[in-house]
Amino acid sequence: MNLALENKVAIIVGSSSGMGKATARSYAQAGASVVLAARSKDKLDNLKAEIGNRAIACPTDARDVDQVNHLIQTTLDKFGQIDILVYATGTNIPDRSLEVLTHETWEMMIGTNLTGAFNCTKAVLPTMRKQQSGLIIYLSSGCVQSPDVSGVSYQASKHGMSGLAHGTFQEEQENGIRTTVIFPGLCDTPIVLQRPTPTPPEVMAKALKPEDVADACLYVATTPSRARIPELILLPAGL
C-alpha cells in the first residue's frame, strides 16, 4: 500500500459526492487522516463508515463563517494539525443564462463556488502560518480556459478561484504555504445533471471520472514542499 500521505491531515470540503468524495477516498488510502466536510450529514456519515478510522465527518456549509471556523477547530481538536485543504465544493443551476439568472441565484452561485473557498482559506491560514507549511488545492473548471455555456455565474465564480489561489500564494509563500488550482474538464459527476439540456450518453462516455481528478489531487499533495504546481489542467482525451 502506498502511504505517501501518512501522518498528514487533509480537510476535503465538498466530500459528500463527486470529485471531493473520490479525493477523500484517495487521500485516506494514501495514509492521510481526512476530515469530511459538506452540507449532507448522511452522505458524510456513509463515507466515514466506508473509509474507517482515518476519517471524521464534520457537516459544514462553507458559506457560513461560523460553521467553517468550527470545521477548522474540530480538525485541530482531533488531529492537532492541518496539512492540506481541498476545496471541491461546486454547484450549478439549470436556469443559468443571463435571461433567467436572478440576483438571488447569482449570489447563491458566487457564495457556494467562491465565497465558500475564501471562507475556508481565511480560516485555515492561521494554522498553516503557525506550522510554516500547508497546501491548499482549489478545484475550478476547464471553462476558465475555454468559455462555454455553463453560465456567467458559474464561469465568474470559477475564474475567481484562480485569483484567490494565486493571490493567496503571493501573500503566504514566505510562510511555507502553497496553492494549486486544478481545472477539470467534463467529468461524470452529479453537477452534470444540472444542465438545462441533458448531455448525450456518447459524450458522457468520454468524460473524466471523479477518480481522475482525485489522482490529480493526490499527485499535487505528494509533490515535495520545495516544489509547487500553480495550475493543473485535466481534460478528457476524446473531447
* DSSP code per residue over 43-110: HHHHHHHHH-TTEEE----TT-HHHHHHHHHHHHHHHS---EEEE------S--STTT--HHHHHHHH
Domains of the chain are 9-234 (3.40.50.720)
Residue 154: active-site member: yes
Q: What is the structure's pLDDT at 134?
A: 98
Q: What is the structure's pLDDT at 193?
A: 65
Please state the length of the chain.
Answer: 239
From the list 27, 138, 154, 219, the catalytic residue is: 154
The pTM score is 0.94
Q: What is the structure's pLDDT at 3?
A: 87
Q: What is the structure's pLDDT at 83?
A: 98
* Strand spans (E) along 130-200: 134-139, 177-184
pLDDT tens across the length of the chain (239 residues): 578 999 999 999 999 999 999 999 999 999 999 999 999 999 999 999 999 999 999 999 999 999 999 999 999 999 999 999 999 998 888 888 889 899 999 999 999 999 999 999 999 999 999 999 999 999 999 888 887 878 899 999 999 999 999 999 999 999 999 999 999 999 888 767 667 777 788 888 899 999 999 999 999 999 999 999 999 999 999 87
Please give the grid coordinates belonging to residue 151: 453560465
Q: What is the structure's pLDDT at 202?
A: 87
Q: What is the structure's pLDDT at 43?
A: 96
